Amino acid sequence: MIADRQRSRANLEAFFGELDTMSQEDRIPAMARWVEDLVKEQGLDFLAVMAASVPGLIDPEQEALALEMRYGERVDAALAKRGAVSDSASRPALLREFRRAELSGAAALRRMLDGDFSDEEKPKFFPAFEPVSQPPAAHAAGASQEVLSARRVYDLWAGKRLGKLADDTLRRYKPTLYSLSAFSKDRDVRQMTDVDIHAWAKHRVAAEGVTARTVNRNDLVAVNSVFNYMTSLNGDRLLQHNPAEGVKLDEDVRQESRENHFRQHEIKAILTASNRVRIGGKFPRAAASRRWAPWIAAYSGARIQEIVGLRRNEVRVEGNIWIFDFKRTKTYVPRRVPIHEHLLELGLLDYVQSVTEGPLFFDGADPEALDKPDGEHDYAKKKPEEMRASELATWVRHVAKLDKDVDPNHFWRHTFKTIAQSRRVRMEERWRDALTGHSVKSVGRKYEHPDIGDLAEAMALYPRYEL
């Protein structure tokens, strides 16, 4: 880089040395050749700036090309944030104004470097922005004339993402996009700006009682995900910009009320209630979920939905080790977990073997075995294991009298790992992560795959729950 600069400086000094010896007639073509060579060396970026510095020096056609190459993408990005696009008539003037603003900014930086921080020469040529009255996409060739409300955009997005995203993701995003559509009175998304999205987000907090944290982490994530996809090639660029980009509500400082794992009296209350459940009645598998799911979670750290989704053939013996073979996980990565010896002593296998086939903890035919007509997929309907997990959480909260800040299901994952890493157990982190399906921190760890024997030895370290 330094050598290139030194060479360019030497060439420049040599050129001006020759220029002093030329007649006025020879200087003009010499200057033209010099500029041409310089452009080849420095590129079109240099040409765009030179055209502004020396008016008339550069051919207009070359200047237009240089401006587009240097500023085109930035101009489009700036317009997209305002929900606007340029047309062929306004494009050249817009690019020149963008260049003028850049050069003005560079001049201001030079003044600041010299210690002049006054704003007397701050550009006064920026007019106030006025939103376009028509959807910007409508001006583009071939753009859809259909009104693209947030509701409609979601429906189109869901159709494209079906089978590529989890059904629960499609289902969770739907009420959010429909809420935005209702708030905006089904206004075309292409006419929306960040101001509109921010107003809706504030409405969610003020009128609907949703916390700013939830809006930021759930609602705005959903809207951004959908809109960003529909601006991509995979989304057929149905939208030219994402009006939700950069929108975020201010959050109050969150004070955690307690740790995210069960305390000893809560563990005792939940597991004691589970021990009292008798399997039978009209819904025996629902009763079985109350009897066994909390215990399995306590001795595995598995997610409740993973547990209640187990099938009869997924509790099996491998070698001489009984395992849970979790196939439907949140991360889509199956894992095998050795069954703690206390669960075997409590009689879990007796229940498993009483089920002939299919799901262990919900009734009816296995939904994965049902044949559906081509194209039919009801992603809006909750899966049986989701409903069972939700029902189980309600039951646990009631029988154990848990505080509102306690998550009846998810706290088991925290509890399992908290006990496993404690000084009295000292299970290695790699085994804790493998048993619970947590991602590893280092690239090297991703190449390590503990066998079931190693995991069984690790599980043997885990202490029994004494009630």
Q: Do 340 and 293 have their domain in common?
A: yes
Give backbone dihedrals phi and psi of 421, rounded to 5 degrees, phi first.
Answer: -90, -5
Domain for residue 243, yes or no? no
Q: Which of 113, 134, 160 is the last residue of a domain?
A: 113
Q: Do 162 and 82 have their domain in common?
A: no
CATH number at residue 200: 1.10.150
Highest mean pLDDT among 4-8, 67-71, 103-107, 392-396: 392-396
The answer on pLDDT for 397 being more than 80 is yes
Q: Do 282 and 347 have their domain in common?
A: yes
Domain for residue 357, yes or no? yes
Domain for residue 424, yes or no? yes
Q: Do 303 and 450 have their domain in common?
A: yes
Q: Do 187 and 81 have their domain in common?
A: no
Q: Do 339 and 391 have their domain in common?
A: yes
Q: Do 286 and 174 have their domain in common?
A: no
Domain for residue 172, yes or no? yes
Number of domains in the chain: 3
CB-based burial label for 33 (10 Å; 0-12, 13-18, 19+)? exposed
Structural domain range at position 321: 264-369+381-460
Domain for residue 386, yes or no? yes
Tens of pLDDT along 227-286? 999 999 999 999 999 999 999 999 887 767 789 999 999 999 999 999 999 998 888 999
CATH number at residue 354: 1.10.443.10
pTM for this one? 0.62
**pLDDT for 135:** 46
Tens of pLDDT along 398-434? 999 999 889 999 999 999 999 999 999 999 988 899 9
Query: How far, in whole angstroms, is CA 258 from its chain's centroid?
Result: 28
What's the chain's average pLDDT?
A: 81
Q: Do 292 and 406 have their domain in common?
A: yes
| More confidently predicted of 202 and 94 | 202
Q: What would the 3-class secondary structure string for 144-212 be?
A: CCCCCCHHHHHHHHHHHHECCECHHHHHHHHHHHHHHHHHCCCCCHHHCCHHHHHHHHHHHHHCCCCCH
What CA–CA distance (Å, rounded) separates 158 from 380? 10
Domain for residue 245, yes or no? no
Domain for residue 277, yes or no? yes
For residue 167, give the nearest of 315, 14, 387 by alpha carbon. Answer: 387
